[in-house]
Amino acid sequence: MTDSFARPGKIIAVHLSYASRADQRGRRPADPSYFFKVASSIAASGGTVERPAGTELLAFEGEIALVIGTPARYVSIDDAWSHVASVTAANDLGLYDLRANDKGSNVRSKGGDGYTPLGPDLIDARAVDPVDIRVRTWVNGELRQDDNSSGLIFPLAQFVADLSQHFTLETGDIILTGTPAGSSVIVPGDVVEVEVDAPNAPGAPTSGRLVTTVTQGDVPFDETLGSLPAVDDTQRTEGWGSAEAAGLAAAESTTTPTGLSPELRAKLEKAPTAGLSSQLRKRGHHSCFIDGVAANIAGAKIVGTARTLRFIPAREDLFKSHGGGYNAQKRLFDAVGEGEIIVIEARGNATTGTLGDILALRAKARGATGVVTDGGVRDFDEVARIGLPVFSQGAHPSVLGRKHVPWELDVTIGCGGAAVQPGDIIVGDGDGVIVIPPSLVEEVVDAALAQEDEDAWIAAQVEAGHPVDGLFPLNAEWRAKYEARG
């Protein structure tokens, strides 16, 4: 760290600020929120950070740090940047093992010695555009984070102006402005490097590489003094960034969804649900229709394999254990793949939302074909604007927890009166949504397309003035004419 960098009176950190991180977490804040870090957590580039004995989830967070120049109190957003003297790199390290009792305040989880490396050099804030500052992080030489201040939900100047409403930002105070997607767990021996720069500014100023090496501590926590480190799969998933990265994805489901070949998908795209359901009925399948749902986007057609989510009725203790954190709903929207359709069992209850705009964004970013839910959808117009086709019972503004607990994913569910298993084929259009067992799909779609050709020929005869008697359905005479057509 440069010698001109004095220990600050305050270090203020932002909880969630980048759109990429918000999409990863499945929630987007309406306003910034903050926590304090202790000055003794500051460390210089080239130093070490200790992972305490008995812990496993120390995570890095590469960030842009702002250094206050002139004191700021009740400043406007237009004037706020003039109170920033310098910009540099920061690593807002945190220990997920200690979040349980301090979540939000982060006193113990982010207050450890060496948990705020800064530097090594300062960039003159007047030399850079606050909406064009890049932050990158490497672990053992591999690039893990690469984002720009243009990807912030709130502009950098807003943090300065907002905080100045509540207390005076003094010369030397530090604002850690949040981390983008890509933060993950590091282990002893890992070397983390963070760099903040402005490649499009004159001279391409840079903070240089902020280097921190992880070491293993050997002093255990005293169980008589306070809460001990504790982790569960939710903390592991949030710490690593995803269930897959945490090694948990394989345990989510014992069923592997069945994919669709491009040829089969193309056939299903052409086949209407009315024709497909008729062919299923001929084969003894009378409960294939998901009742009561309609598309949020007029003319939408969805074809894909099912990924399932089951909500159970709301109960306070069960919501406390399963509703918060990285719950089944968030895990599924983070795991859905290209060409898949999320099908939600909401027990036909339309009086509460089962997804909103943030989860819709995540599903679309993951390449999902659409969502089917026999419940309601909040942020209905915005979900439609995002362009994700959703078949539901309609709009409802309530949040998760009013009527549902997100319980489990990739299990057999009931949606709109139809049984749905992971890997079932889902097709939806203006007539509604149907479920096709994978073992029947080739036979059913070929028959449906053949019937479509026949129906089109019949329609042409009716349009030409022929009566429907004997023509619809075809009697022997008309059948012979149809089969003899050129």
Q: What is the pLDDT along the chain (486 residues), one digit of tens a residue?
A: 444 467 899 999 999 999 999 887 777 888 999 999 999 999 999 999 999 998 899 999 999 999 999 999 999 999 999 999 999 999 999 999 888 777 678 999 999 999 999 999 999 999 999 999 999 999 999 999 999 999 999 999 999 999 999 999 999 999 999 999 999 999 999 999 999 999 999 999 999 999 999 999 999 888 788 878 888 777 888 889 887 788 775 444 433 344 688 899 999 999 999 989 989 998 889 889 999 999 999 999 999 999 999 999 999 888 888 887 778 899 899 889 899 999 999 999 999 889 999 999 999 999 999 999 999 999 999 999 999 999 999 999 987 777 899 999 999 999 999 999 999 999 999 999 999 999 899 999 998 888 888 778 888 888 888 888 887 877 888 788 877 876
Residues of the domain holding 314: 262-442
Asked whether the beta carbons of 127 and 203 are under 8 A apart, the reply is yes
Place of tokens 């499009």: 200
Cβ-proximal residues to 475 (8 Å cutoff; 6+ apart), any chain: none
Both 92 and 15 in one domain: the answer is yes
Q: How far is CA 340 from CA 103, 161, 309, 477, in A?
A: 34, 44, 13, 45
Last residue of a domain, one of 217, 249, 281: 249
pTM above 0.85, yes or no: no
Last residue of a domain, one of 184, 215, 249: 249
- Residue 51 resides in a domain: yes
**Distance between CA atoms of 152 and 483, rounded to whole angstroms?**
64
Helix-helix angle 273-282:441-463, to 10 degrees? 120
First vs last Cα of the chain: how many Å apart?
A: 83
Both 64 and 146 in one domain: the answer is yes
At 296, list the tokens. Answer: 């949020």
Instruction: Residue 139: give its domain's CATH number.
Output: 3.90.850.10
Both 90 and 155 in one domain: the answer is yes
Both 66 and 121 in one domain: the answer is yes
**Distance between CA atoms of 253 and 401, rounded to whole angstroms?**
24
Both 432 and 301 in one domain: the answer is yes
**Distance between CA atoms of 163 and 98, rounded to whole angstroms?**
27
Both 83 and 230 in one domain: the answer is yes
- Residue 479 resides in a domain: no
- Residue 467 resides in a domain: no
- Residue 466 resides in a domain: no
- Residue 306 resides in a domain: yes
Both 178 and 306 in one domain: the answer is no
- Residue 449 resides in a domain: no
Instruction: Residue 285: give its domain's CATH number.
Output: 3.50.30.40
Parallel, antiparallel or unpaired: strands 58-59 and 289-290: unpaired
CB neighbours of residue 237 within 10 Å: 23
Both 123 and 235 in one domain: the answer is yes
Nearest CA to 236 out of 326, 320, 323 is that of 326
Rg of the Cα atoms in the chain: 28
At 424, list the tokens. Answer: 């079932």
Mind listing the pLDDT tens digit for each residue in 193-214?
A: 999 999 999 999 999 999 999 9
Both 425 and 330 in one domain: the answer is yes
Total domain count, the chain: 2
At 454, list the tokens. Answer: 């026949």
Both 266 and 155 in one domain: the answer is no
3-state helix, strand, coil in the chain (%, to 5): 25, 25, 45
- Residue 70 resides in a domain: yes
Place of tokens 């002893």: 188
Both 267 and 242 in one domain: the answer is no
Both 110 and 40 in one domain: the answer is yes
Mind listing the pLDDT tens digit for each residue in 166-194?
A: 999 999 999 999 999 999 999 999 999 99
Q: How far is CA 143 from CA 69, 148, 279, 365, in A?
A: 32, 14, 52, 21
- Residue 213 resides in a domain: yes
